[in-house]
Amino acid sequence: MTAKLKTAVLGATGYSGLELTRILLRHPRLEKPMLLRRPADNATAADLADVFPVLSGNGGYPLHPLAWPSLKEQGVQLLFLATPHETSRSIVPEAMAQGLRVIDLSGAWRLKQAEHRAIYNFQDANAVRAAEITEKAVYGLPELNADRVANAALVANPGCYATSVILALAPLLKAGIVARKRGIVSDSKSGVSGAGKEPTAKTHFVSVADNLSAYSLFNHRHVGEMVEQLDLTEQELIFTPHLLPIPRGILSTIYVHLNRKMTPTELDSCLRTSYSGKRWVRVFQTPKLPQVNFSLHTNYCDLGFCLADDGERLVLISCLDNLLKGAAGQAVQNMNLMYGWAEDEGLQ
């Protein structure tokens, strides 16, 4: 029998890390993942069940300190990072030097252009090495970059908002039917888990419940991903994120003008042709539109649209689970590509 792959997860104590761990535990081609504890994590938590009691009674999920000799001794070949951006930025160079392949769920290595990366204000210990790694990193959106992901040493898993917007717009922009100079507007809304596990005044229950709020206007970290991957200028896209009073899920409503009159049949064909054979994108037959509930707890990105009677104004709807297709599920989809497995293994 083919030997099973040994993986490790650094950051399993976060929401995305928990979802990732759960998927890896049931993946048929993997050994039980090695779970690593960050120095900043609660040192009193010896087991992931101490952090997430829902895992109690399943044989234990010990949290180990990060030590490269230990990973080598355990035969780890692939390291997942579900860590803050700064942590991933500092760890990846050493991980790659150790010969590990890496899938990073943070924004540390997604951006090629310095002006977009500046929002993170990274302070690299070795700027030359960081630049080399940046060039080698593959943006891990499987529906667009599957061939490059397959051979990557470092996959930069996309952001959740970025995934929803890029997958909706990419087919139309590639077909050249968007009137880009008239502007594209994405009005996107996310559940609170998208803000991460650490609570803030803005994500406190009292602030979120029975409320809807916009934030990070014109300076959200995911905008750089969107314009780089879609080959847009920042002047061609307005992205406004909102915080929904729900635990998880994203709904992006995207407004575009077309440069010629089109029919619903033509637009439907454009989307379906682009994602033919792509397991995790579902195109809804107009007039049916995606809803947050349809994609929750799945790895699907659901797409739908409504075309105005004039045939030139279009509204796209894109929905996904921010912790799965927007994070952990997509990371496993990338792993499957890296090792030549079917994209849906472990994700059904």
Q: CB under 8 Å, gap of 24 or more: what pairs does 265-269 form?
A: 267/172, 267/305, 267/307, 267/314, 268/305
152 and 169 both lie in a single domain: no
- Pairing label, strands 301-307, 281-283: parallel
What is the number of domains present in the chain? 2
Distance CA 71, CA 101 (A): 12
CA 64 – CA 76 distance, rounded (Å): 13
Q: Read off the CATH number of the domain in which 230 is found.
A: 3.30.360.10
In a shared domain, residues 142 and 11 = yes
Query: Beta-carbon neighbour count of residue 37 at 10 Å?
Result: 21
CA distance 87 to 17: 14
Give yes or no: residues 65 and 187 share one domain: no
- 313 with 165, same domain: the answer is yes
CB 36 within 8 A of CB 8: yes
Whether 62 is covered by a domain: the verdict is yes
Q: Are residues 128 and 202 in the same domain?
A: no
Asked if the structure places residue 50 within a domain, the reply is: yes
> What residues are labeled active site?
160
Task: For residues 249 and 184, state if they share a domain.
Answer: yes
* Same domain (yes/no): 165, 300: yes
pLDDT in tens, the chain (348 residues): 578 999 999 999 999 999 999 999 999 999 999 999 876 665 667 899 999 998 888 778 999 999 999 999 999 999 999 999 999 999 999 999 999 999 999 999 999 999 999 999 999 999 999 999 999 999 999 999 999 999 999 999 999 999 999 999 999 999 999 999 999 999 999 999 887 777 788 888 888 888 999 999 999 999 999 999 999 999 999 999 999 999 999 999 999 999 999 999 999 999 999 999 999 999 999 999 999 999 999 999 999 999 999 999 999 999 999 999 999 999 999 999 999 999 999 998
Instruction: Please tell me the distance from the alpha carbon of residue 314 to that of residue 90, in angstroms, as a whole number.
Output: 43
Q: Are 165 and 309 within one domain?
A: yes
Q: What residues does 257 pair with on adjacent strands?
A: 313
The whole domain housing 140 covers: 7-157+327-338
CATH number, domain at 91?
Answer: 3.40.50.720
Q: What pLDDT was estimated at residue 40?
A: 63
Gyration radius (Cα) of the chain, Å: 20
Residue 28 counted as domain residue:
yes
pLDDT of residue 208: 87
pLDDT of residue 121: 94
Instruction: Tell me how many degrees the CA angle 283-288-291 measures, rounded to the nearest 5.
Output: 80
Identify whether residues 147 and 237 lie together within a single domain: no
Asked if the structure places residue 191 within a domain, the reply is yes
Distance CA 150, CA 158 (A): 16
Give the residue carrying structure tokens 């899938």: 103
Same domain, 153 and 171: no
Asked whether residue 74 is domain-assigned, the answer is yes
- 345 within some domain: no
pLDDT score for 202: 81
